[in-house]
Amino acid sequence: VCFVCSGNICRSPTAEAVLRRRLAEAGLAGEVEVDSAGLGDWHVGEDVDDRSAAALRARGYPAWTHAAKQFRPADFEDRDLVVALDAGHERALRAMAETAADRAKIRMLRSYDPVAAEDPDGLDVPDPYYGGERGFEHVLDLVEAACAGLLAEVEAELWIHPNG
């Protein structure tokens, strides 16, 4: 599973941290590889934004070593699921996907949250980068809600295909 946002320092690493913890709690940490990437290259090599890290720490998520990277078309090959954090990311990923099989791997994160269908802002996880602390907490709220549904799908897929 690869989460993709703009620069790979706020939203996508937050989703990576949340899904990693959910998988560990479910006893599946060694069964599923999780990473994140950005569409742009302007933050490549940077750590998680301090405000994202603070929001995660406040909810008990462990720190980890992160180096932002850029998603490339070849990255589809090694991923079963590529999860976009907003509609712009989804469009860019679909344009980047070279095959129908690659396009089939793309999903919006909030599509896993049944409450998201009622949200007037749609399925986007808003970019908190230019806002205040509350924006980062809101992103974490949305990501946690969606990752519950994503975990259920991953568990079902592992049950259906227990050997990969």
Show which residues are catalytic.
Answer: 5, 11, 127
- The residue type at 28: L
- Report the DSSP pairing between strands 35-38 and 2-5: parallel
Supply angle C-alpha 95, 124, 71, rounded to 5.
40
Share in percent of the chain as helix, strand, coil (round to 5): 50, 10, 40
SS3 5: strand
Question: Please, which residues have CB within 8 angstroms of residue 38's CB and are 6 or more apart in sequence?
Answer: 4, 5, 6, 7, 8, 9, 12, 44, 68, 69, 70, 71
Tokens encoding 128: 């908190």
